[in-house]
Chains A and B, each alone.
Chain A
Amino acid sequence: MPKISERLAVHVDSVRKTFVLHHTHSLKESFVALLRRKRLTSTFNALESISIEIHEGESVALLGLNGSGKSTLLKLISGVLRPDSGEIGVRGRVAGLIEVGAGLHPDLSGRENVYLNAAILGMTREETEARFDEIVEFAGIAPFIDQEVKHYSSGMFLRLAFAVAIHTELDVLLVDEILAVGDEPFQKKCLARIAELQQAGKTLVVVSHDLGMVQRVCERGIVLRKGEVVFDGPSAEAVEFMRAS
């Protein structure tokens, strides 16, 4: 097991996130709603005053049912969303791995997509060039690398996206629904790669519904329910907690 540092990699300090649901989508609708004294918005608390400390080198799984606030928390850590109150601090470069494939463009070739997607995730040109062959090899799409991505099968598409994401080698990796991708051999490769990253002292925050996998990959599990932390401890116990509830 990798050594866990004393230093914090991610610090979530009493963070609350409220979503405002707009019921109108144009100025006209807003105006009409105002005249009729209808409510323009309603609010929904996705996270209620959450505090979490994650140390460098830790692998943490966020568990919970749909709508419990896991993805919102990842988005807050990556900076896509901002907390309404409380503070978040991160150390080093955070790879926004949220939902694999967001940065792929169907009209670009595989090669162009590797560079673009890696840059979107925060890599420099030199870093991408150094890992390019490894990424293509990992995705297993070498013969098709100069074809447009829209001609890829859905499996190839996801493998490419995942290969780029998992080779970013930034300090903190945020992973949403990690191994919903690929066949058995590919999943094995992914797990091996994740173990490498853990050995290298990277910090991982993983969201997944695959409890068995989570238990193998992460040593710590945090269970969220309706935007609150209801369990924080060893992943095996977190998984039991999830199964019991």
Chain B
Amino acid sequence: MTSEGRRAGDPGLVKPGRSRGLLDVPRYRYLLSLLVRKEVSIRYRGSVLGWIWSFAKPAAMFVVYYLALGVFLRLNDAIEGYPIYLFSGFVLMNLFTESFGNATRSLVDNAALIKKIYMPRELFPVSSTIVALVNFLPQVVVLFVAALILGWHPTWEALGAFLLATVIAMVFATGLGMFFGSINVSFRDSQNFVELIIMVSTWASPVLYQLALVREAAPEWLFVLYQLNPLTPAVELMHLAFWEPTLDQPLPEPGAIGMFSLIAFLISFAVLFLGQLVFRRLEGRFAQDL
């Protein structure tokens, strides 16, 4: 074909609007940093209390859960150090739900840009995950301080478990966000479905109650399935990092957390890969369907 020949003879011409997906994100880190900064700085602009709101919302949720479950349902008596148990899992779940929800809506929210200017569209879900990470940090500071007051000493194991949990939650959320976000462009049902998942996810991992309760109540296969949810080992890693060291006596049995953490790590990257695949397949239609 003549056109092929000409292209071969003229290697300087490249097809516009092609990218290597997530692999191109590091090359666009300057634009990514500006997009993140934009989101972060406009979030509380025009509000009097500003950044305090990023503490207020999780704090209110925490108080509600603590009163309802810890005090009224007496989990406080059943689980030693329940506040720190609850809070350590809770902040991680906040990170997950916020980045997942924002990533899902990121394409629709940035429709004006996507329709007019080309840039790797992966930047939008990735930047919403990073924004969620930025909002996660003050909560982590509170968690650190609370744990220190309760007699926690930072160890390398604890920090490692914390980092692994964070990576699992972020990668998993980005992958899911890219998957549902790209479907959301054509079918807005997607974001409603995601809200449903988000609502269930806090209850589908041992944030509010202990893993042992599931083992007692559920059949073996269901318990395995429960632990295959990457968020379950991620939350358990948070407990391992912040809650267990504050206990008077160590837990009798560590369980299979190592193995399930590894599986969670692999699953979350597999989901990211799948999300990228679907994203790429649907990307060609973003600009015209939005």
Q: Say whether B112 faces chain A, with CB atoms less than 8 Å apart.
A: yes
> What B residues does A76 contact at CB under 8 A?
16
Across the two chains, which residue of chain B brings its CB closest to A109? B41
For B34, the chain A residues whose CB sits under 8 A away are 115-116, 119
Q: A173 at interface (Cβ–Cβ under 8 A)?
A: no
B189, A75: Cβ atoms closer than 8 Å = no
Contact residue among A77, A87, A120, A125 (Cβ-Cβ distance under 8 Å from B113): A120
Which residue of chain B has its CB nearest to the CB of A11? Answer: B13
Q: Is the interface of A mostly helix, strand, loop or mixed?
A: mixed
Q: Would A87 and B30 count as touching, CB distance under 8 A? A: no
A8 contacts B38, C-beta separation under 8 Å? no
Task: Flag whether A156 is at the interface (Cβ < 8 A).
Answer: no
A30 CA / B183 CA spacing, docked (Å): 14
* B30 & A124 in contact (Cβ 8 Å cutoff): yes
Number of interface residues, chain A, beta carbon within 8 A: 45
Closest to A81 in B: B287
A164 and B114 CA atoms in complex are apart in Å by: 19
What is the minimal beta-carbon distance from B290 to any residue of chain A, in angstroms? 11
A105 and B45 CA atoms in complex are apart in Å by 13
A27 to B187, CA, bound (A): 7
A90–B10 Cα gap in the complex (Å)?
A: 11
Instruction: Say which residue of B17, B113, B288 sits within 8 Å of A78 (CB atoms).
Output: B17
Shortest CB distance B30–A (Å): 5
The answer to the question of A82 belonging to the interface, with a C-beta cut-off of 8 Å to chain B, is: yes
**A102 with B16: CB separation less than 8 A:** no
**Complex interface bits, A113-137 against B, C-beta within 8 A gives 1, otherwise 0:** 0011001111011000000000000
Is B252 among interface residues, defined by CB-CB distance under 8 A?
A: no
Alpha-carbon separation in the docked complex, A88 to B38 (Å): 33
Q: How far is the CA of A78 from the CA of B118 in the complex (A)?
A: 6
Contact across chains for B13 and A8 when beta carbons are under 8 A apart:
yes
Cα(A120)–Cα(B15), bound, Å: 19
Known contacts: A7-B12, A89-B7. The answer to whether A26 contacts B188 by CB under 8 A is yes
| Interface flag for B151 (CB, 8 Å) | no
* A178 nearest CB across to chain B (Å): 15
Chain B 263-290 interface residues, beta-carbon cutoff 8 Å to A: 284, 287-289
**B256 within 8 Å of A (CB atoms):** no
> Cβ of B116 and Cβ of A87 under 8 Å apart?
no
Partner of B38, one of A77, A98, A105: A105
Interface flags for A70-90 (1: CB within 8 Å of B; 0: not) read 000001111111100001111
Which residues on A are within 8 Å of B, measured CB to CB?
7-8, 11, 13-14, 19-20, 22, 25-28, 30, 75-82, 87-92, 94, 96, 98-99, 102-103, 105, 107-108, 112, 115-116, 119-122, 124-125
**Complex A-B: 21 CB contacts under 8 Å:** A11-B6, A22-B289, A25-B188, A26-B187, A30-B187, A75-B287, A79-B16, A79-B18, A80-B287, A87-B7, A87-B15, A88-B16, A89-B10, A90-B14, A91-B14, A96-B117, A96-B118, A107-B46, A115-B34, A116-B38, A120-B31
Q: A89-B13, A112-B41, A124-B30 are in contact. List 16 more A-B contacts (CB 8 A).
A: A25-B187, A25-B188, A27-B189, A80-B117, A82-B284, A88-B15, A89-B7, A91-B14, A94-B118, A96-B116, A98-B116, A102-B112, A102-B113, A102-B117, A107-B46, A125-B30
